[in-house]
């Protein structure tokens, strides 16, 4: 049985070549873990292409070292930073596999069967793309706050019926026909491409053991929020679901909250509205605690991380809108 398993894996590797593309910018803390988790696969990728998009840390040197150890690891280097869409497109252009699988640099694959599972799905010729999903890495207190954010966001998406299309792996031919990622879109380019792919083919979901290494420091949370704001200036999230305007983690809720504080001195109706919004926030803490059993991270996310992100997202959104005028 063991020999048959190895032979089957070998047939998949020869029949269907899977190229992995990883965009990276200043990811020295996580890039080696990400690449090595792919090299540890039962069926190894045909190649692992890391696109270093203007890193100013040791990302390039780490990938070069990995390339010397393992010939499958290849580096494409850009001295100036662009975007994830740009980096992914350049990696896909260099890929030689039948399928291009996109992985973020802060993803660690615990499931040694990832490439094999993806390869098995693509044995069906009618399938042009797949998406994979797993969990997150939540070790520090701030990462546990991010876990609360992830749980509450998923609850909102399910309750509101929001369907987010995205792809993880795609046939290289189909990717080329669609023109790749839209490089005018920042941060949300995967959703935009996912919507276009969904119009052409079915996108089955493959659940695998992968971990997204969540921001563990305040500076990383700030950077992520600024990326979200910049991305929102290039991609209309309201088209996916207008209810995002009312959901507390999004900036619009906190803008109304701040306005009520300022206007409450003029009219008591704003004071009542402010009290109602506070009740909503308390209710969110209760729901978050019920779902995660983490009280302090729930309180921290709702009353600190969420408004902080709202301010940073709004600032980044407005700044980028002004720059593009």
pLDDT tens per residue across all 325 residues of the chain = 544 544 454 444 447 999 999 999 999 999 999 999 999 999 999 999 999 999 999 999 999 999 999 999 999 999 999 999 999 999 999 999 999 999 999 999 999 999 999 999 999 999 999 999 888 889 999 999 999 999 998 888 888 777 888 999 999 999 999 999 999 999 999 999 999 999 999 999 998 999 999 999 999 999 999 999 999 999 988 777 777 666 766 788 898 999 999 998 889 999 999 999 999 999 999 999 999 999 999 999 999 999 999 999 999 999 999 988 7
Q: Tell me: do 120 and 268 sit in the same domain.
A: no
Same-domain pairing of 200 and 144: yes
21 lies in some domain? yes
Q: What is the pTM of this model?
A: 0.89
**What are φ and ψ of residue 132, in 5° steps?**
-120, 160
pLDDT reported for residue 323: 87
In a domain, 112, yes or no: yes
> Contact, 39 vs 115, CB < 8 A?
no
58 is a domain residue: yes
* Same-domain status, 133 and 254: no
Q: Is 280 a domain residue?
A: yes
pLDDT, position 320: 93
Range of the domain at 264: 237-323
Residue whose tokens read 């605690």: 289
Same domain (yes/no): 207, 247: no
Sorted by sequence, the CB contacts under 8 Å of residue 155 that are 6+ apart come out as: 287, 291
Per-residue model confidence (pLDDT) at position 157: 83
Q: Which of 214, 248, 275 is the last residue of a domain?
A: 214
Contact call for residues 23 and 104 (beta carbons, < 8 A): yes
Q: Read off the CATH number of the domain in which 50 is found.
A: 3.90.550.10
Place of tokens 């052409």: 200
Per-residue confidence (pLDDT) for residue 4, from 0 to 100: 54
| Number of structural domains in the chain | 2
Please give the Cα distance from 153 to 159 (Å, whole number).
10
Residue 221 lies in a domain: no
Between strands 129-137 and 169-171, the pairing is antiparallel
Rounded to 10 deg, the angle between the 141-160 and 218-232 helix axes is 30
**Structural domain contains residue 223:** no
Q: What is residue 5's predicted lDDT score, i.e. its pLDDT?
A: 47
Instruction: Give the residue from 247, 255, 269 showing the smallest Cα distance to 317.
Output: 255
- Residue 133 is predicted with a pLDDT of 87
Residue 230 lies in a domain: no
């Amino acid at each position: 049985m063991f020999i048959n398993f190895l032979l089957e894996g070998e047939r998949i590797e020869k029949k269907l070549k899977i190229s992995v593309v990883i965009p990276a910018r200043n990811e020295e803390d996580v890039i080696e873990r990400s690449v090595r988790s792919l090299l540890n696969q039962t069926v190894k990728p045909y190649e692992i292409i890391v696109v270093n998009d203007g890193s100013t840390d040791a990302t390039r040197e780490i990938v070069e070292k990995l390339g010397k150890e393992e010939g499958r690891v290849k580096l494409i280097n850009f001295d100036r930073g662009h975007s994830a869409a740009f980096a992914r497109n350049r990696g896909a252009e260099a890929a030689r596999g039948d399928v291009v699988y996109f992985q973020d640099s802060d993803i660690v694959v615990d499931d040694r069967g990832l490439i094999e599972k993806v390869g098995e799905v693509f044995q069906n010729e009618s399938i042009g793309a797949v998406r994979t999903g797993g969990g997150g890495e939540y070790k520090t207190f701030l990462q546990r706050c991010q876990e609360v954010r992830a749980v509450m966001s998923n609850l909102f998406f399910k309750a509101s019926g929001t369907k987010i299309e995205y792809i993880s792996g795609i046939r290289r031919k189909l990717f080329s026909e669609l023109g790749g990622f839209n490089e005018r879109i920042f941060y949300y380019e995967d959703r935009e491409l996912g919507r276009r792919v969904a119009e052409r083919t079915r996108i089955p979901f493959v659940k695998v053991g992968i971990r997204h290494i969540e921001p563990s420091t305040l500076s990383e949370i700030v950077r992520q929020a600024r990326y979200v704001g910049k991305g929102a200036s290039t991609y209309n999230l309201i088209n996916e679901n207008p209810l995002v305007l009312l959901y507390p983690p999004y900036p619009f809720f906190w803008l109304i909250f701040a306005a009520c504080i300022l206007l409450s001195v003029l009219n008591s109706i704003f004071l009542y509205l402010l009290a109602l919004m506070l009740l909503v926030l308390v209710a969110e803490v209760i729901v978050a605690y019920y779902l995660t059993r983490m009280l302090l991270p729930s309180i921290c996310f709702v009353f600190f991380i969420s408004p902080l992100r709202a301010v940073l997202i709004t600032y980044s959104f407005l700044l980028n809108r002004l720059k593009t005028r």
